[in-house]
């Protein structure tokens, strides 16, 4: 009977609008929640087959959807490990409880923003109990080739606040000037001494003690020096002897003309370097290319060390963590050294709105969201990672309040339908009296 269907339609209308009001309430309650994605409610009519003479009301049903692909406004903060995604992609996180439990492969969840801090164990975690995940770097800072369609290579990012670091010296570039007058006839033959500090494999400070002795000729100018290199870590043992000859041509005067190896590693004229083997291993010493300026030179009458650049560092304490737009995590030490320790990928899916919704603005991939892929931030379809930033809620209070008014009116109207049907049924009952 059509009057009964009207009653059922009114009930479904109440139920649908109650569901919409619940979504609106959730949105308003989380209007200040960073990373919150608003929920929308859609109504769908239900049609019941009717005869030509009567019409049966089918009513309405509602469906809710969380718009995970919508992005909120980014706001700046003062914390380097407050992270948000600028554009497409999501950050991989896991539950701190999984980490504490010692799970080898903790479950990967996804989020678009988070305020992370180092906890007492050195993990980057948020106040809501999420641990940030990334790929660990090799000792040289390179990232291994992890599989991009599985989270198997990801691990909770852990950087010890009391971490120490020391890097051995493997390369030294030296630029200095030797006095041209020292290789003239009648010169005093005074040696020039230079000490170059380096760090061994344990971060201990050692030195290469280099002596330059001019060859004083019986007549004219020799333009020749003997370079002897000693290693302090080897008790002052000689690790290299080289005879240096300088050019006195008008165009290339003062540059290296030739290097003859007396002992130690051979000079490579293609790179301008020699390799000396100290107690801790080989060190590449760059002294300049033949005929080109920038390394050793012989000009004027003064000994002048110009610049000495080298890699390696002494042992230092970690002072802070930085994260760049490409997701690389750097540990900074008080020695001025910066080491890459992790890379945070961005996870992308064909249908983010199809993910399973969890607490704390986190989501799980599902069959409805499609197969995910782990991209380097800033590559492929993904955006960049923004440090010093958090993503605001996508809730628009004005729109939600407007929707609340509409929902209230619709709910009242459906209640009025039920009241009217009740009165009509009462009239039908009264016919018998």
* Residues 353 and 65 sit within 8 Å (Cβ to Cβ): yes
175 shares a domain with 161 = no
Do 140 and 195 share a domain, yes or no? no
Q: What is the pLDDT of residues 402-427, one digit of tens each?
A: 999 999 999 999 899 888 888 888 87
151 and 94 in a common domain: yes
Q: Is the pLDDT of residue 22 over 70?
A: yes
CA 241 – CA 263 distance, rounded (Å): 5
Whether 279 and 373 share a structural domain: no
Domain end position, chosen among 285, 311, 337: 311
- As a whole number of angstroms, the distance between CA 380 and CA 363 comes to 22
| The predicted structure's pLDDT at residue 165 | 61
Examine the fold and report which residue of 276, 311, 346 is the final residue of a domain before the chain moves on.
311
Return mean pLDDT, the chain: 90
Tokens (6 digits) for 351: 């249908």
Q: Per-residue pLDDT tens for 239-294?
A: 999 999 999 888 888 999 999 999 999 999 999 999 999 988 899 999 999 999 88
Domain match, 296 and 188 both: yes
pLDDT digits (tens, 9 = 90+) for 94-144: 999 888 887 778 899 999 999 999 988 889 999 999 999 999 998 788 999
Which residues touch 171 (CB under 8 Å, ≥6 apart)?
283, 284, 286, 310, 311
- A 10 A CB-CB count for 387 gives 19
- Is pTM beyond 0.85? Reply is no
Q: Are residues 416 and 338 in the same domain?
A: no
Q: Examine the domain organization and report whether 173 and 304 are in the same domain.
A: yes
Do 206 and 126 sit in the same domain of this protein?
no
Indicate whether 182 and 273 sit together in one domain: yes
CATH of the domain at 269: 2.60.98.20
Instruction: Give the closest residue to 120 by CA, choosing from 78, 77, 162, 81.
Output: 162
Domain, as residue range, for 89: 74-165+316-391
Domain count, the chain: 3
Q: Tell me the two tokens of residue 398.
A: 């004005």
Whether 222 and 304 map to the same domain: the answer is yes
Statement to judge: residues 227 and 300 lie in one domain: yes
CA–CA distance from 219 to each of 37, 185, 215 (Å)? 87, 5, 11
Q: Are residues 174 and 298 in the same domain?
A: yes
Lowest mean pLDDT among 7-11, 101-105, 284-288, 296-300: 101-105
């Amino acid at each position: 009977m059509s009057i009964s269907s009207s009653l059922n339609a009114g009930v479904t209308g109440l139920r649908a609008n109650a569901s919409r009001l619940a979504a609106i309430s959730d949105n308003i309650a989380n209007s200040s929640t960073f990373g919150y994605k608003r929920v929308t409610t859609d109504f769908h009519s239900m049609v019941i087959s009717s005869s030509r003479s009567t019409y049966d009301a089918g009513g309405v049903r509602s469906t809710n959807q969380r718009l995970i692909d919508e992005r909120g406004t980014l706001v700046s903060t003062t914390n380097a490990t407050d992270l948000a995604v600028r554009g497409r992609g999501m950050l991989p996180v896991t539950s701190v409880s999984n980490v504490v439990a010692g799970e080898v492969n903790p479950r990967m969840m996804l989020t678009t923003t988070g305020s992370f801090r180092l906890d007492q164990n050195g993990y980057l975690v948020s106040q809501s109990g999420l641990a940030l995940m990334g790929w660990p770097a090799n000792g040289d800072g390179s990232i291994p080739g992890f599989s991009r369609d599985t989270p198997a290579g990801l691990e909770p990012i852990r950087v010890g606040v009391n971490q120490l670091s020391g890097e051995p010296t493997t390369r030294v570039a030296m630029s200095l000037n030797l006095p041209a007058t020292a290789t003239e006839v009648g010169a005093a033959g005074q040696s020039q001494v230079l000490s170059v500090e380096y760090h061994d494999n344990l971060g201990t400070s050692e030195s290469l003690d280099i002596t330059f002795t001019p060859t004083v000729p019986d007549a004219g100018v020799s333009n020749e020096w003997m370079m002897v290199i000693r290693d302090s870590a080897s008790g002052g043992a000689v690790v290299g002897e080289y005879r240096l000859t300088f050019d006195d041509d008008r165009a290339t005067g003062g540059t290296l003309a030739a290097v003859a190896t007396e002992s130690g590693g051979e000079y490579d004229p293609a790179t301008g370097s020699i390799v000396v083997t100290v107690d801790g291993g080989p060190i590449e010493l760059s002294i300049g290319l033949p005929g080109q300026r920038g390394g050793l030179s012989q000009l004027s009458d003064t000994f002048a060390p110009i610049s000495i650049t080298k890699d390696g560092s002494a042992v230092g304490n970690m002072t802070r963590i930085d994260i760049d737009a490409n997701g690389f995590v750097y540990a900074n030490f008080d020695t001025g050294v910066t080491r890459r320790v992790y890379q945070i990928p961005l996870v992308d899916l064909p249908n983010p709105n199809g993910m399973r919704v969890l607490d704390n603005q986190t989501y799980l991939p599902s069959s409805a969201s499609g197969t995910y892929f782990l991209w380097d931030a800033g590559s492929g379809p993904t955006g960049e990672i923004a440090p010093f930033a958090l993503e605001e809620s996508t809730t628009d209070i004005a729109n939600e309040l407007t929707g609340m008014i509409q929902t209230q009116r619709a709910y009242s109207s459906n209640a009025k339908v039920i009241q009217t049907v009740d009165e009509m049924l009462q009239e039908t009952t009264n016919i018998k009296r």
